[in-house]
Amino acid sequence: MRNRTKTWFLFALMLGILVAIGGVISASSGSAIWIILFTGIGLISTAVMYWNSDKIALRSMQAYAADPQQFKGLYDMVHDLAQRAGEPAPRIYISPTQQPNAFATGRNPQNAAICFTEGIMHLLDPRELRAVTGHELMHVYNRDILTSSVAAAIGTVIQGAAYMLMFSRNNSNVLFSILGAILAPLAAGLVQAGISRDRETSADHDGARLTGDPLALASALQKISGGVQRHPMSSDDHRVKAASHMMIANPFAGKIKNWFSTHPAVEDRVDRLNQIARDMGQQP
């Protein structure tokens, strides 16, 4: 509940930034058309990203549908946890990459997909893989794809509005326009990253509750973190960037713990999971 409240607060902050930029441009141009225009662009962008999120993410990772016979254990695991949650089971895909990672995507639980890389299938034991599956399923059941799609759409519109602010001909304060054009996208990026981190934290918590095994998820995250450092993805690949915020671990090597990170630090996640284990009567 605390993370959901924080997420809604961050959304309100993003909208506040957008309205402020629109207000400045409208004041300088003498027309409110820009606020209406930005709102329309935001709604269209959100709809397109939301409706096609699964296709975009799966294509970016070159994922293929998992064969039910070849991956029978994985199918049984996903369907068992979905039944435990009282929700429909998502489609299952495999990405042919050596980096250990996983992500869930789709506009709702009825049209969702969960993707595992070949690397994570080889790295984790069945207990750890089950814990990761629980985490990804909770992204689906918490409607986190809608949340991330809306945040990304608003962030994109803010960037466009800030660019327009900088080149607004009727704006008498050039310095203010330049500062606004620079700082507004930075602020939106910080807020968007904060929303993503909150959703990851919630999925850790809810996934651990679903599987009843927070220690397995903590162990999996530590293994995945090491695997990412050994097999990093290219941050210059825009296709991978499109799905990176959905993955259970940041797929790019380097400094992870910063304000613009879409994922909480692994150490913090492990500490929280260990505390959940203690609350459940388990000894880390």
Find the helix or strand (DSSP H, E) in which 242 lies.
Answer: helix 238-244
Token pair 């969702």 is at which residue?
A: 112
Find the helix or strand (DSSP H, E) in which 106 lies.
Answer: strand 102-106
- How far is the C-alpha of 35 from the C-alpha of 24, rounded, in Å? 10
Token pair 């910063």 is at which residue?
A: 258
* pTM, rounded to two decimals: 0.82
Would residue 154 count as lying in a domain?
yes
Out of 128, 136, 200, 267, which one is annotated catalytic? 136
Q: What is the mean pLDDT of each run of 10 residues along the chain (284 residues)?
A: 65 74 68 68 72 83 95 96 96 95 90 95 97 96 81 73 66 63 77 86 96 97 95 78 83 68 92 96 90
Torsion of Cα atoms, 282 then 129 then 238 then 37, to 10°: -60
Would residue 284 count as lying in a domain?
no
Specify whether 118 is catalytic: no
Domain limits at 186?
A: 2-279
Q: Domain total for the chain?
A: 1
pLDDT in the model for residue 244:
82
Would residue 270 count as lying in a domain?
yes
Asked if 228 and 249 count as a contact pair (C-beta separation under 8 A), the reply is: yes
Identify any residues that bridge with 103 across adjacent strands, giving them in sequence order: 115, 247
* Cα-to-chain-centroid distance, residue 231: 20
| Structure-block tokens of residue 195 | 């929303």
Would residue 103 count as lying in a domain?
yes
pLDDT in the model for residue 245:
81
pLDDT in the model for residue 190:
83
Asked if 111 and 54 count as a contact pair (C-beta separation under 8 A), the reply is: yes
Would residue 149 count as lying in a domain?
yes
